[in-house]
A and B are shown apart, each in its own frame.
Chain A
Amino acid sequence: MASTSTAPIESPTGDPLEPRPLIEGAQTDLSLNQSLLNHVWMGAGKGWWMLFGLALAGLGLLGIGITVTLAKGVGMWGNNIPVGWAYGIINFVWWIGIGHAGTLISAILLLLQQKWRTSINRFAEAMTLFAVMCALLFPLIHTGRPWFAAYWLLPYPSVQGIWPQFKSPLVWDVFAVSTYFTISLLFWFLGLVPDLASLRDSSKSPTKRVIYGLFALGWRGSGRHWAEYRWAYLLLAGLSTPLVLSVHTIVSFDFAVSVLPGWHTTIFPPYFVAGAVFSGFAMVVTWMVPARQFLGLKHVVTMKHLENMNKVILATGMMVAYGYVMEHFIAWYSGNEYEFSVFFRVRQRGPLAPVYWLMVFCNVIVPQIFWFKKARTSLFIMWVAALLVNVGMWCERFVIIVTSLHRDFLPSKWELYTPTWVDWSIYLGTIGLFSTLFLLFLKFVPAVAVTEVKELRHELAHAHGAGHGEAHG
């Protein structure tokens, strides 16, 4: 280093560019264990019960929506020709997208050795699982007879001798989403096993000890186990990385492979993946801002984590904006009047134009405030911005799906789409389902990967002690 430079800033990470610590305060393995498991041991507070009640009300709404759909048929939904696809697929894509942040944080950031992922990966992975569960509900119930769905979707030998049409992106979707759910579950559980062992070993009541002990599978922190475990964890991350990219790519194929103006676009796969990560990070911020406060996780989910997530929101928001620009450019450049009409007339000036402009506001303009450090580090601003991004990404799916369909090639077939109360109650109901599962997760499972934070503390302490050379041991 040149002698003229100023003295390096002391930081626990040893990185002068990153003065904010990843773990705040002087922590030991024991103190981390206590502080990170505390929210599991302490009783549910008033706030938790209030939120849980609200979530259960949402779940009830879901029950009503599904019951009506199954009893009276899918005609209770607002779908009708020409808008044959609406809330079912909008919400499916919205939820799947939200799930993607979890895999990105846990797998891709692990492979890139981004140490800040450690405090938030468990939280985000749980979000992935619950979001995918909500997403899976829609294709199931839209069949109207979900108990037959397995016969229609999965290849099994039947007397009819008929197989799924493997050239259909909808069949690819079945494989992609079910693989995604299975791998996310295995990855999440594998990471959880050592933490369940810590829960087992620090529990005070024998019942809890037995229950957590069962889920901990008899984990004893054996060095022989760790040697294989680390490989398995890394390989699952390596497999999840292309998987997460493939899932939303395949979801986008549902649209891009068709020949409908507004859907038939080659930019869809990367633009859907970027949008998924964008909305997923927004959802993580939406939940993390209050959760770190109430669960006492501020020392491991520091402002640096939140700021980094906001930077990712800004970056992916810019990618989404680029996607919008390119879509419109190609619609103009193609010279195809139907495509031009969808992008420049129907969406911008049609009857559903408010949704389009809300989408532009939420997804393109709102994230721009994250250029300012003040906005990136203000809890209130980031929370509101993240909520708006969630809204914006829902609007994006609405715009893509409904506006492309409601103006058919023949003007005599034009029809406005309106969702029914059943559509709304199923949609709001899945938010209730998600919140219910998430609140249960926050109550019974450590929200932060305790083992990994301990390992990170150990690494940081070593790196700090040995100078800058040993950051990646």
Chain B
Amino acid sequence: MSHGAGFVPRRFVLGEFADSDAMLSATKQMRLKGHKKLDTHSPYPVHGIEEALGLGRAKIPTIVLCGAILGACLAYSMIYFMNVVDFPINVANRPPHSPPANIPITFELAVLMGGGSAFFGLMALMRLPEPYHPVFEAESFRRASIDTFFVSVEVPSDQNPDTVAADLLGFGSVEVQVIEESER
């Protein structure tokens, strides 16, 4: 592997676990031991992962709420502007501003922008799409989406990956490997 100038490959230690409970307890202990940049990889969401990783409250609900409110405001003000301010049409002397008639579209746009912000907000938070990630270097990682549980730790450049690997093994990992980002 030839490294270009300035390219510092990220290093990861990847520990494999037999089941989700072993993965959870190892994650917790690794975090208490002071390891930063911990992550888990599982084929399906595992209950208790937030506590094990020490994550705070999820950010998505706030994003969705803001998106939905924005959508509702946008829709109502759009209708108001178009049918009341810019081009009022008098049909049988009905009021140009008729709130009940504005509700359906206001609701629909709130849902549209709320849902859109759920999806795109999630993608932004997860930083996906990201086709390459160093963990994919490990051949056994192909089973992370099938039936195997992993804990990954990004090792800072001044730290020896072997000590991290030893910790993971100590906390019940079946197999540990050190992987290095490849330059593209």
Contact between B131 and A161, CB atoms less than 8 A apart: no
Contact with A along B95-135 (1 / 0, CB 8 A): 00010011011011101101110110111011011111101
B59: which A residues are within 8 A, CB to CB? 228
Asked whether A242 is an interface residue with its Cβ less than 8 Å from the other chain, the reply is yes
In B81-104, the 8 Å CB interface with A consists of 82-83, 86-87, 89, 91, 94, 98, 101-102, 104
With A166-B83, A186-B116, A218-B133 already in contact, the answer to whether A33 and B147 are too (CB < 8 A) is yes
Which of the residues B47, B60, B135 comes within 8 Å of A228, measured between beta carbons?
B60
Q: Give Cα A186 to B41, complex, Å.
A: 23
With A175-B104, A451-B44 already in contact, the answer to whether A222 and B39 are too (CB < 8 A) is yes
With A171-B105, A235-B61, A239-B114 already in contact, the answer to whether A217 and B146 are too (CB < 8 A) is no
**Nearest A residue to B109, CB-CB:** A175
Stretch at the interface among B137-145, B155-163, B165-173, B175-183: B137-145
Shortest CB distance A463–B (Å): 12
Contact between A454 and B44, CB atoms less than 8 A apart: yes
Q: Give Cα A142 to B79, complex, Å.
A: 26
Contact between B61 and A231, CB atoms less than 8 A apart: yes
A167: which B residues are within 8 A, CB to CB? 83, 91, 94, 98, 101
Contact between A452 and B60, CB atoms less than 8 A apart: no
Asked whether B52 is an interface residue with its Cβ less than 8 Å from the other chain, the reply is yes
Please indicate which of the listed interface residues B45, B49, B82, B87 has the most CB atoms of chain A within 10 Å of its own CB. B45
Stretch at the interface among A17-25, A197-205, A323-331: A197-205
Shortest CB distance B104–A (Å): 4
Q: Give Cα A142 to B102, complex, Å.
A: 26
Contact between B128 and A166, CB atoms less than 8 A apart: no
B41: which A residues are within 8 A, CB to CB? 220-223
B105: which A residues are within 8 A, CB to CB? 166, 171-172, 175
Shortest CB distance A225–B (Å): 5
In B17-61, the 8 Å CB interface with A consists of 20, 27, 39-47, 49-50, 52-53, 55, 58-61
Which of the residues A161, A201, A223, A250 comes within 8 Å of B146, measured between beta carbons?
A201
B20: which A residues are within 8 A, CB to CB? 458
Contact between B108 and A175, CB atoms less than 8 A apart: yes
Q: Give Cα A198 to B145, complex, Å.
A: 5
A163: which B residues are within 8 A, CB to CB? 82-83, 86-87
Q: Is the interface of A mostly helix, strand, loop or mixed?
A: helix
Asked whether A413 is an interface residue with its Cβ less than 8 Å from the other chain, the reply is no
Asked whether A361 is an interface residue with its Cβ less than 8 Å from the other chain, the reply is no
Q: Give Cα A29 to B42, complex, Å.
A: 11
B118: which A residues are within 8 A, CB to CB? 186, 232, 235-236, 239
A interface residues, how many (CB within 8 angstroms): 63
Q: Give Cα A225 to B145, complex, Å.
A: 13
A452: which B residues are within 8 A, CB to CB? 44
Q: Give Cα A203 to B58, complex, Å.
A: 33
Stretch at the interface among A86-94, A176-184, A258-266, A311-319: A176-184
Asked whether B73 is an interface residue with its Cβ less than 8 Å from the other chain, the reply is no
A219: which B residues are within 8 A, CB to CB? 128, 145
Contact between B115 and A224, CB atoms less than 8 A apart: no
Contact between B146 and A176, CB atoms less than 8 A apart: no
Q: Give Cα A235 to B62, complex, Å.
A: 11
B interface residues, how many (CB within 8 angstroms): 66
A164: which B residues are within 8 A, CB to CB? 82
Q: Give Cα A245 to B181, complex, Å.
A: 49
Asked whether B153 is an interface residue with its Cβ less than 8 Å from the other chain, the reply is no
Contact between B119 and A236, CB atoms less than 8 A apart: yes
With A227-B58, A239-B115, A243-B111 already in contact, the answer to whether A161 and B43 are too (CB < 8 A) is no
Shortest CB distance B184–A (Å): 13
Q: Give Cα A250 to B105, complex, Å.
A: 10
Contact between A176 and B147, CB atoms less than 8 A apart: no
Q: Is the interface of B mostly helix, strand, loop or mixed?
A: helix
Contact between B107 and A226, CB atoms less than 8 A apart: no
Which of the residues B40, B52, B79, B132 comes within 8 Å of A218, measured between beta carbons?
B132
Which of the residues A179, A220, A228 comes within 8 Å of B122, measured between beta carbons?
A228
Q: Give Cα A122 to B126, complex, Å.
A: 23
Please indicate which of the listed interface residues B53, B89, B123, B145 has the most CB atoms of chain A within 10 Å of its own CB. B145
Asked whether B13 is an interface residue with its Cβ less than 8 Å from the other chain, the reply is no
A228: which B residues are within 8 A, CB to CB? 58-60, 122, 125-126
Asked whether A151 is an interface residue with its Cβ less than 8 Å from the other chain, the reply is no
Contact between A30 and B147, CB atoms less than 8 A apart: yes
**Nearest A residue to B106, CB-CB:** A175
Contact between A223 and B52, CB atoms less than 8 A apart: yes
Shortest CB distance A188–B (Å): 11
Contact between B136 and A220, CB atoms less than 8 A apart: yes
Q: Give Cα A163 to B49, complex, Å.
A: 50
Contact between A179 and B39, CB atoms less than 8 A apart: no
Shortest CB distance B124–A (Å): 10
Shortest CB distance A68–B (Å): 34
**Nearest B residue to A165, CB-CB:** B89
A360: which B residues are within 8 A, CB to CB? none
Q: Give Cα A299 to B100, complex, Å.
A: 49
Shortest CB distance B49–A (Å): 4
Contact between A223 and B53, CB atoms less than 8 A apart: yes
Contact between B130 and A246, CB atoms less than 8 A apart: no
B130: which A residues are within 8 A, CB to CB? 217-218
Asked whether B78 is an interface residue with its Cβ less than 8 Å from the other chain, the reply is yes
**Nearest B residue to A202, CB-CB:** B146
Contact between A235 and B108, CB atoms less than 8 A apart: no
B164: which A residues are within 8 A, CB to CB? none
Shortest CB distance B48–A (Å): 9
Shortest CB distance A48–B (Å): 26
Q: Give Cα A221 to B49, complex, Å.
A: 12
Q: Give Cα A172 to B122, complex, Å.
A: 28
Asked whether A455 is an interface residue with its Cβ less than 8 Å from the other chain, the reply is yes
Q: Which 3 A-B pairs have the closest CB atoms?
A: A29-B147, A223-B40, A163-B82
A-B contacts, 15 of them at CB < 8 A, read A30-B147, A163-B83, A163-B86, A172-B108, A186-B118, A218-B129, A220-B144, A221-B43, A223-B40, A223-B41, A231-B60, A236-B119, A239-B115, A242-B111, A250-B104
